[in-house]
């Protein structure tokens, strides 16, 4: 039986986005504050996912061995380093979050049966790499606060209450929505970016956060005048709003995840083919370690 396990590690490092072939003004225009000298730092959190058959001891791999491999090949070399100078790869392609995930994969692949690398630059920005050449994923998280009421306009209060329970109450209720937007694209071999991060963030702000924040969705967002603003429907609408703006940044919208509360969330994909298939009994199980 196959199983996927995850191992967490962390390191602190600094980096600078700077291309010597560009002028100071050109670097500032392209990378903004990230171009400032002498650079800036992050507390990185790394998740390495590995797959294998369960052995007679109930393990995929000996976790002590995994820990030592990640330490030897990655964290010991990067911890408290200036990333631009730490590895030769970052002399050719800048140490962006997405490119770092790719290079870490390349460093670990000869030693571990990895299937995914996730690298968190901070809790609101992380990258994922799965071994597909220069393709990577970048996730930006943000939030907005809004109220809604779950009710079909053609039904009575009693009928809506049978369907939606307390959520059908006439004056509505509110949530602090947490939104995760994942884009995918090819990493630029020089800048290390799959898209301009600032442009992606601005698209999310302009088309979702600013219009939705502190609204009564049913009344303030025209789409929800006739569509019940369930978490699922909100996620679908956000996807539709972002497809074209994200495309204009050079990336592709991969996934929208809307977390309504710690108990409820919904996710939809930019392309239905990207949605995971329904797991069968023969699919690998997952373990967090």
Q: Which residues contact 109 (CB under 8 A, 6 or more apart)?
A: 131
Q: Which residues, in sequence order, are bridge partners of residue 143?
A: 178
Which residues are known catalytic residues?
167, 214, 260
What are the DSSP calls for the chain, one per residue?
-EEEEEEEEEEEEEE----TTS-HHHHHHHHGGGG-TT-EEEEEEEEEEEEEE--TTS-SS-HHHHHHHHIIIIIHHHTTEEHHHHSTHHHHS---HHHHHHHHHHHHTTTS-EEEEEEEEETTEEEEE-S-TTEEEEEEEEEEEEEE----TTS-HHHHHHHHGGGG-TT-EEEEEEEEEEEEEEPPTTT--SS-HHHHHHHHIIIIIHHHTTEEHHHHSGGGGTS---HHHHHHHHHHHHHHHHHHTT-EEEEEEEEEETTEEEEEESSGGGSPPPP-TTSPEEEE-
């Amino acid at each position: 039986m196959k199983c996927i396990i995850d191992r967490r590690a962390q390191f602190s490092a600094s980096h600078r986005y700077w291309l010597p072939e560009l002028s100071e003004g050109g670097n500032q225009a392209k990378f903004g504050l990230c171009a400032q000298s002498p650079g800036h730092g992050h507390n990185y959190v790394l998740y390495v996912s590995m797959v294998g058959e369960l052995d007679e001891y109930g393990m995929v791999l000996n976790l002590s061995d995994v820990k030592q491999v990640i330490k030897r090949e990655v964290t010991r070399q990067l911890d408290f380093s200036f990333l631009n100078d730490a590895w030769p790869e970052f002399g050719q392609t800048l140490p962006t979050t997405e490119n770092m995930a790719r290079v870490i994969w390349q460093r670990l692949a000869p030693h571990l049966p990895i299937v995914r690398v996730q690298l968190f630059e901070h809790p609101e920005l992380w990258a994922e790499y799965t071994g597909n050449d220069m393709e990577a994923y970048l996730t930006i998280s943000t939030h907005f606060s809004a109220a809604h009421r779950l009710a079909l306009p053609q039904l009575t209060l009693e009928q809506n209450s049978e369907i939606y329970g307390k959520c059908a109450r006439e004056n509505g209720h509110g949530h602090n929505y947490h939104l995760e937007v994942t884009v995918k694209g090819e990493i630029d071999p020089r800048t290390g970016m799959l898209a301009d991060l600032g442009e992606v963030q601005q698209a999310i702000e302009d088309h979702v956060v600013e219009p939705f924040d502190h609204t009564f969705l049913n009344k303030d967002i025209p789409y929800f005048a006739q569509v019940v603003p369930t978490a699922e429907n909100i996620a679908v609408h956000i996807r539709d709003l972002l497809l074209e703006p994200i495309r204009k940044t050079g990336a592709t919208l991969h996934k929208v995840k809307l977390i309504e509360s710690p108990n409820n969330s919904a996710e939809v994909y930019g392309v239905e083919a990207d949605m995971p298939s329904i797991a069968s009994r023969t699919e690998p199980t997952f373990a967090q370690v």
